[in-house]
């Protein structure tokens, strides 16, 4: 497998990713999600392929902020079923080891 390139200024791309929009590739075309790798410490790495160049890119998906964690914890405490703070209520958090993780962004939002 070819080595993936890092995208540093990914903020705009991540915004598109969270809202389910097409992510523009640095080479033209758009980025296709290949997979998300959750990281032990909370963030995740999204692996994408450019639709035009077939180059692979990795984007670090930042770990949950304090506000996001609180939001999820509040829902849990009320006995609710929390959704992903970034992807919205339709993306349910799933248990992965000791963490509650969004299956779309791979970020851990709570401990269980």
- Strand (E) positions, 11-81? 23-24, 30-38, 44-50, 56-61
Which CB atom, from 25 or from 91, has the smaller least distance to Zn ion?
Answer: 91
Nearer of residues 55 and 76 to Zn ion, judged by Cβ: 76
Q: Report yes or no: 10 and 79 within 8 Å, Cβ to Cβ.
A: no
Q: Considering the complex, what minimum distance in angstroms separates the CB of residue 29 from Zn ion?
A: 24
Site for Zn ion in 73-102 (CB under 5 A): 84, 86-87, 102
Please say whether the beta carbons of 57 and 31 come within 8 A: yes
Give the residues lining the site for Zn ion (CB under 5 A).
84, 86-87, 102, 104-105
């Amino acid at each position: 497998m070819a080595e993936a390139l890092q995208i540093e200024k990914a903020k705009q791309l991540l915004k598109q990713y969270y809202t389910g929009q097409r992510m523009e590739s640095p080479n033209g075309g758009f980025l296709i999600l290949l997979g998300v790798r959750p990281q032990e410490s909370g963030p995740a790495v999204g692996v994408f392929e450019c639709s035009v160049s077939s180059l692979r890119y990795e984007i670090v998906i930042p770990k949950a902020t304090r506000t996001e964690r609180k939001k999820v914890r509040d829902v849990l405490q009320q006995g609710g079923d929390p959704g992903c703070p970034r992807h919205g209520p339709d993306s349910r958090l799933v248990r992965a080891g000791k963490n509650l993780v969004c299956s779309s962004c791979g970020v851990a939002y709570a401990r269980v």
